[in-house]
Amino acid sequence: MIRNLTLFVVAVFWLSIAFWVYKDARRRIEDPWLVGMATLLGLVPFVGPIIYMLFRSPEYLEDVRERELEIKAMEERLSRRELHCPVCRAEVDPSFLVCPVCTTRLRQSCRNCKAPLEALWQVCPYCETPVEPVAVELGETQALAPPRRERHA
């Protein structure tokens, strides 16, 4: 009776391992023919599942698809070139001079043609007007570009 019980437990364990190989192969392998071959390999007593585990795909198909979707979403975000306010992170249009949410100054406008200018531009590319230094608010005082030192003779 103990021998029969032991054989029964070993047979159930062997079939459960083969079933596990089948379920795992379905989650990792897209080709149904390869899933069938992995299942047949899993039916080889005790050695087959070990061989399967050595050569199986390292990730699930669902994880691969999820990663591909994340990469596609990142590529779309980068291609749209969205701009955000540096203070409140609200989306802003490249032509905005101030953030409509928090009123942070994003760009200065050209004094001649009123086009939005980038911070590093020295001249307006639209009308060739020289760009004046921007006043930076420091508490209650305002400071322009650093003052030039005069030479004393």
Mean pLDDT, 10 residues at a time, the chain of 153 residues: 95 94 95 94 90 93 95 83 82 84 87 85 88 58 46 53
CA atoms within 13 A on the CB side of 109: 9
Residue with tokens 């999820």: 66
Classify residue 112 by its DSSP letter: T
Verify that 48 and 17 share a domain, yes or no.
Answer: yes
Q: Is residue 80 part of a domain?
A: no
Residues 10 and 55 reside in one and the same domain: yes
The pLDDT of residue 19 is 95
Domain containing residue 97: 85-143
Evaluate whether residue 18 is within a structural domain: yes
pLDDT at 141: 40
pLDDT given at position 64: 94
Q: How far is residue 116's CA from residue 78's CA, in Å, rounded to a whole number?
A: 22
- 123 DSSP assignment: B
In a domain? residue 108: yes
Strands (E), the chain: 83-84, 91-92, 108-109, 116-117, 136-138, 141-143
User: What is the model's pLDDT at position 143?
Assistant: 42
Please check whether residue 49 is in contact with residue 42, taking contact to mean a CB–CB distance below 8 angstroms: yes
CB neighbourhood size of 146 (10 A) = 7
- Whether residue 153 is contained in a domain is answered as no
Task: Give the number of domains in the chain.
Answer: 2
Q: Please, what's the b/e burial string for 90-127 (b: 16 or more CB within 10 A of its CB; e: otherwise)? A: eebeeeeeebeeeeeebbbebeeeeebbeeeeeebeee
Question: What distance in Å separates the CA atoms of residue 84 and residue 95, rounded to the nearest whole number?
Answer: 12
> What are the structure tokens assigned to 32, written together?
């149904």
